[in-house]
């Protein structure tokens, strides 16, 4: 079961947010080795192609341990560059974890990893 990663930033317009999302998508795939895709909504009648939802990435089930740490490290790098960015992980069952830059700057990442781990495990 995939996990929906939503990215938001009140300082960015929709184009800039989608650029940030596209880069995050690449980094999750390339640097963290996490299988990702973009969620699509069916096009409305008369429109061409499916609609990609701005600021969202689907993450395939992530294994516990190393992959979770890799995911958090990528998110942490984004939060260091853009402290106003926020993330939300959501399972299809509706379980969510919201992550802010403050959560990612914490010296004790154990708390954040413990919050993410149940979401990841339920998504399997």
Residue ranges per structural domain of the chain: 3-40+50-123
- What are the CA-CA distances from residue 97 to residues 12, 14, 45 (Å)? 22, 23, 35
Who contacts 54 (Cβ-Cβ below 8 Å, separation ≥6)? 14, 17, 18, 21
Tokens linked to 44: 């409305």
pLDDT attached to residue 64: 60
Report field, pTM of the whole predicted structure over 0.85? no
Q: Of 17-21, 95-99, 120-124, which gets the smallest average pLDDT?
A: 120-124
pLDDT reading at 8 higher than 50? yes
Main-chain dihedrals φ then ψ at residue 112, nearest 5 degrees:
-65, -45
Report the first-to-last Cα separation within the chain, whole angstroms.
Answer: 6
Instruction: Read off the pLDDT of each residue in 54-67 and give the average, rounded to a whole number.
Output: 77
**C-alpha to C-alpha distances, 84 to 24, 35, 98, 119, nearest whole angstrom:** 15, 26, 13, 23
| Residue 49 pLDDT grade (very low, low, confident, very high; cuts 50, 70, 90) | very low
The whole-number pLDDT of residue 124 equals 64
């Amino acid at each position: 079961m995939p996990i929906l990663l939503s990215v938001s930033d009140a300082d960015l317009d929709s184009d800039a947010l989608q650029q940030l999302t596209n880069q995050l998508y690449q980094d999750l795939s390339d640097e963290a080795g996490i299988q990702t895709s973009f969620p699509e909504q069916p096009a409305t009648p008369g429109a061409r192609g499916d609609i990609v939802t701005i600021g969202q990435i689907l993450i395939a089930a992530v294994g516990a341990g190393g992959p979770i740490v890799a995911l958090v490290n990528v998110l942490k790098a984004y939060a260091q560059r853009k402290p106003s960015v926020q993330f939300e992980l959501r399972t299809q069952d509706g379980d969510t974890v919201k992550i802010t830059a403050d959560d990612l700057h914490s010296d004790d990442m154990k708390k954040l990893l413990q919050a993410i781990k149940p979401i990841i495990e339920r998504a399997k």
